Amino acid sequence: MPSLDELTAALRRFAADRDWQQFHDPKNLAMLLASEAGELVAQYRWVRGDEADARSREPVARARIAAEVADVGIALLLLCDRIGLDLTQAIADKLAHNAARYPVEQSRGRADRPK
């Protein structure tokens, strides 16, 4: 399995081979990510919440979902690479922040947590 660093290197090479870095400023990459997120959400928009797990296992739907998940991941890695941000470190930092923000006792079973 490739590591995130290897994938990032491959993505960088892919863009360089096509002279696409000129389009990949952080603003454009944020837009790319938003449009890919929109395509992912489209996969589930007519699916009932209680059928969404089963749908995610159906081969045809799964292939489409995997492709959209990958597109989001690619946009995210391209953005992180462009702005020099370590994705795993950012996630670890945010997780620590969230642990303080959503104390276990007050948050348990509550969908109405703020934000």
Residues 28-87 that bind a second copy (CB under 8 A): 28, 30-50, 52-53, 55-57, 62, 65-67, 69-74, 76-77, 79-80, 82-83, 85-87
Task: List phi, psi (to 5°) of 103.
Answer: -60, 145
Choose, by CB under 8 A, the member of 12, 58, 81, 88 that binds a second copy. 88
The one-letter amino acid code at 104 reads: V
Least CB distance to a second copy at residue 110 (A): 8
Residues 30-58 as b or e (16 or more Cβ within 10 Å = b): eebbeebeeebeebbeeeeeeeeeeeeee
Least CB distance to a second copy at residue 84 (A): 8
User: By CB under 8 A, is residue 22 in contact with a second copy?
Assistant: yes
* Cα radius of gyration rounded to whole Å, the chain: 17
User: By CB under 8 A, is residue 7 in contact with a second copy?
Assistant: yes
